[in-house]
């Protein structure tokens, strides 16, 4: 998953309009794209039950914080925010505070016991219960529902789009994870893997297209293991991820399709051929490696070796020659030696990643790594290794950007550049951000942009005729 938003975010629009007498809910979201999409499901459930959404906590009757447990830092940040909520509550004693998402699932009633400010605790599979729990909390009854489900996919709930651009949207295609990577808390907080009915996915995608959206990102912890069995089908018909990707691509050629995250062990050639076949499926794959050492990968229970992974990369290069590749890396996992670390660096060079999310290993309670292995890489060594991989990735990202100089790319305009009202930003098929003078175009248009320059994070260019 893309955890670029770990610092948290608040939806800035207000739905429905402020000023009516509905109770107002403020939602702050941390963690992965899936969590942001979950907040949209939560908003939908609440609006259907008579609440309004506000972006200003000072106007809120209810403040929800959608949390992430993936690393200790993510949890520390949320505790910090709960302290701020407690300060606000001093001036507004009637405001209810709810913790939802992965920390709710992991810490359960401990959250209410430890933090007096918390009124309700709701896990990722229990969002339909939010209105009931809120009503009870209004009557002074603290509430908790952290039941995980084998079926819940919120398939029938149309998420209320809380992002601002109206151009790109996330669509969850599955929930949970069965992989049990030894370092990872997700299988415990989000439960077992379940795929969402493809019909409901296609309906949601069509609705988005009709509403003017021009890009969807299909989300799951491991999208390549998406598998839907049609219940009661005499032919036992199934839909796998390659099938689903094709169905989504066929909704309209003017709709860009992205997906995240792929597990290397499940990325099939069929999926790669589907990407190659459809112009509107973006040429970018996020393929987390985690470590370049087969020994460490085994300890992580990733179920592939360095060689297996490089074979998958070779398949990507063969089937989609013009494809960008990004990854996730964990440095300083239990027992990692300098030799293992050097293997990570050499693998990064060999693949030549366009982009990477890089993390220090963080021990998560109750995972296999926490229970069975010693977190024995000293903090200063983890820090040094992390800075070495960040430095190398900086060079690789620069090489990747320089490759684009003087080339033209189709770009979907996503919004105004943060730095200048005269400029738009959008992304290339390779998921690289480009900034360019806006001319007479508008958000949601596709334009061709010739890249003339780049900064460490962004491509810079001008609109051209194609």
The three-state (H, E, C) secondary structure of the chain, written as one string: CCCCCCCCEECCCCECCCCCCCCEEEEEECCCHHHHHHHHHHHHHHHHCCCEEECCHHHCCEEEEEECCCCHHHHHHHHHHHHHHHHHHHHCCCCEEEEEEHHHHHHCHHHHHHCCCCCEEECCCCHHHHHHHHHHHHCCCCEEECCCCCCCCCCCCCCCCCCCCCCEEEEECEECCCCCCCCCCHHHHHCCCEECCHHHHHHHHHHHHHCCCCEEEEECCCHHHCEEECCCCCCCCEEEHHHHHHHHHCCCCCCEEEEECCCHHHCCHHHHHHHHHCCCECCEEECCCECCCHHHHHHCCCCCCHHHHHHHHHHHHHHCCCCEEEEEEEECCCCCCHHHHHHHHHHHHHHCCCEEEEEECCCCCCCHHHHHCCCCCCHHHHHHHHHHHHHHHHHHHHHHHHCCCCCEEEEEEEEECCCCCCEEEEECCCCCEEEEECCCCCCCCEEEEEEEEECCCCEEEEEECC
Out of 67, 222, 239, 274, the only residue in the binding site for ligand SF4 (CB under 6 A) is: 222
Minimum separation from the CB atom of position 424 to ligand 5AD (A)? 30
When asked if residue 186 is in the footprint of ligand SF4 (CB under 6 A), the reply is yes
When asked if residue 188 is in the footprint of ligand 5AD (CB under 6 A), the reply is no
- Phi, psi values for residue 30, rounded to 5°: -120, 155
Minimum separation from the CB atom of position 127 to ligand 5AD (A)? 22
Of 177 and 392, nearer to ligand SF4 (C-beta) is: 177
When asked if residue 328 is in the footprint of ligand 5AD (CB under 6 A), the reply is yes
When asked if residue 106 is in the footprint of ligand 5AD (CB under 6 A), the reply is no
The answer to whether 177 touches 223, Cβ cutoff 8 Å, is no
Of 4 and 455, nearer to ligand SF4 (C-beta) is: 4
Interaction mask 242-281, ligand SF4, x per CB under 6 A: ---------------------x------------------
Among the residue ranges 81-89, 101-109, 354-362, 425-433, the one whose residues contact ligand 5AD (CB under 6 A) = 354-362
When asked if residue 184 is in the footprint of ligand SF4 (CB under 6 A), the reply is yes
- How do 446-454 and 459-464 pair as beta strands? antiparallel
Interaction mask 240-279, ligand 5AD, x per CB under 6 A: ----------------------------------------
Among the residue ranges 97-105, 158-166, 176-184, 385-393, the one whose residues contact ligand SF4 (CB under 6 A) = 176-184
Binds 264: which of ligand 5AD, ligand SF4, none (CB < 5-8 Å by kind): none
Of 177 and 275, nearer to ligand SF4 (C-beta) is: 177
Sign of torsion over alpha carbons 459, 260, 157, 215: positive
Binds 3: which of ligand SF4, ligand 5AD, none (CB < 5-8 Å by kind): ligand 5AD
Binds 426: which of ligand SF4, ligand 5AD, none (CB < 5-8 Å by kind): none
When asked if residue 69 is in the footprint of ligand SF4 (CB under 6 A), the reply is no
Of 74 and 447, nearer to ligand SF4 (C-beta) is: 74
Could you give the C-alpha distances from 79 to 6, 85, 320, in angstroms and in order? 14, 10, 44
CA–CA separation, 298 and 293 (whole Å): 9
Out of 187, 352, 415, 437, the only residue in the binding site for ligand SF4 (CB under 6 A) is: 187
Of 3 and 424, nearer to ligand SF4 (C-beta) is: 3
Binds 71: which of ligand 5AD, ligand SF4, none (CB < 5-8 Å by kind): ligand 5AD
Minimum separation from the CB atom of position 345 to ligand SF4 (A)? 21
Query: Which residues inside 374-393 make contact with ligand 5AD, applying CB under 6 A?
Result: none
Sign of torsion over alpha carbons 227, 2, 317, 169: positive
When asked if residue 290 is in the footprint of ligand 5AD (CB under 6 A), the reply is yes
CA–CA separation, 209 and 358 (whole Å): 34
Minimum separation from the CB atom of position 73 to ligand SF4 (A)? 17
Binds 263: which of ligand 5AD, ligand SF4, none (CB < 5-8 Å by kind): ligand SF4
Out of 25, 42, 205, 330, the only residue in the binding site for ligand 5AD (CB under 6 A) is: 330
Among the residue ranges 11-19, 29-37, 177-185, 212-220, the one whose residues contact ligand SF4 (CB under 6 A) = 177-185
When asked if residue 362 is in the footprint of ligand 5AD (CB under 6 A), the reply is yes
Q: Which residues bind ligand 5AD (CB under 6 A)?
A: 1, 3, 70-71, 183-184, 288, 290, 328, 330, 359, 361-362, 364
Q: Which residues bind ligand SF4 (CB under 6 A)?
A: 177, 179-181, 184, 186-187, 221-222, 263
């Amino acid at each position: 998953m893309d955890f670029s938003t770990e610092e948290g975010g608040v939806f800035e629009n207000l739905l429905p309009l402020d000023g009516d007498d509905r109770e107002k809910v403020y939602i702050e979201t941390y963690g992965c794209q899936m969590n942001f999409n979950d907040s949209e499901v939560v908003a939908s459930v609440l609006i259907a039950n008579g609440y309004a959404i506000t972006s200003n906590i000072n106007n809120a009757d209810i403040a929800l914080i959608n949390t992430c447990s993936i690393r200790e830092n993510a949890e520390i940040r949320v505790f910090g925010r709960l302290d701020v909520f407690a300060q606000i509550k001093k001036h507004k004693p009637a405001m209810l505070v709810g913790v939802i998402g992965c920390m709710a699932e992991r810490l359960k009633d401990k959250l209410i016991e430890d933090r007096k400010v918390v009124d309700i605790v709701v896990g990722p599979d229990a969002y339909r219960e939010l209105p009931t729990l809120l009503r009870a909390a209004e009557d002074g009854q603290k509430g908790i529902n952290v039941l995980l489900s084998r079926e819940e996919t919120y398939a029938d709930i149309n998420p209320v789009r809380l992002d601002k651009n109206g151009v790109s949207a996330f669509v969850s295609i599955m929930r949970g994870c069965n992989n049990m990577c030894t370092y990872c808390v997700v299988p415990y907080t989000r439960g077992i893997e379940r795929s969402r009915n493809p019909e409901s996915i296609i309906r949601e995608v069509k609705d988005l297209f009709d509403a003017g959206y021009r890009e969807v990102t299909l989300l799951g912890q491991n999208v390549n293991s998406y598998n839907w069995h049609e219940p009661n089908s005499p032919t036992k018909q199934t839909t796998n991820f390659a099938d689903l990707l094709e169905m989504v691509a066929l909704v309209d050629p003017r709709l860009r399709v992205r997906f995240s995250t792929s597990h290397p062990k499940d990325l099939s050639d069929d999926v790669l051929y589907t990407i190659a076949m459809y112009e509107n499926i973006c040429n970018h794959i996020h393929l987390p490696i985690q470590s370049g050492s087969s020994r460490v990968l085994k300890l992580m229970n990733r179920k592939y070796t360095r060689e297996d992974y490089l074979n998958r990369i070779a398949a990507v290069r063969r089937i989609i020659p013009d494809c960008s590749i990004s990854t996730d890396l964990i440095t300083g996992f239990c027992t990692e030696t300098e030799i293992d670390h050097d293997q990570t660096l050499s693998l990064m060079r060999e693949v030549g990643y366009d982009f990477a999310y890089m993390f220090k290993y963080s021990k998560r309670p109750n995972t296999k790594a926490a229970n069975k292995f010693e977190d024995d890489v000293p903090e200063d060594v983890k820090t040094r290794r992390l800075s070495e991989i960040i430095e190398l990735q900086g060079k690789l990202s620069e090489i990747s950007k320089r490759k684009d100089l003087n080339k033209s790319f189709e770009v979907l305009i996503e919004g105004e550049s943060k730095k200048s009202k005269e400029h738009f930003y959008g992304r290339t098929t390779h998921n690289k951000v480009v900034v360019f003078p806006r001319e007479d175009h508008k958000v949601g248009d596709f334009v061709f942009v010739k890249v003339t320059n780049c900064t460490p994070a962004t491509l810079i260019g001008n609109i051209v005729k194609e």
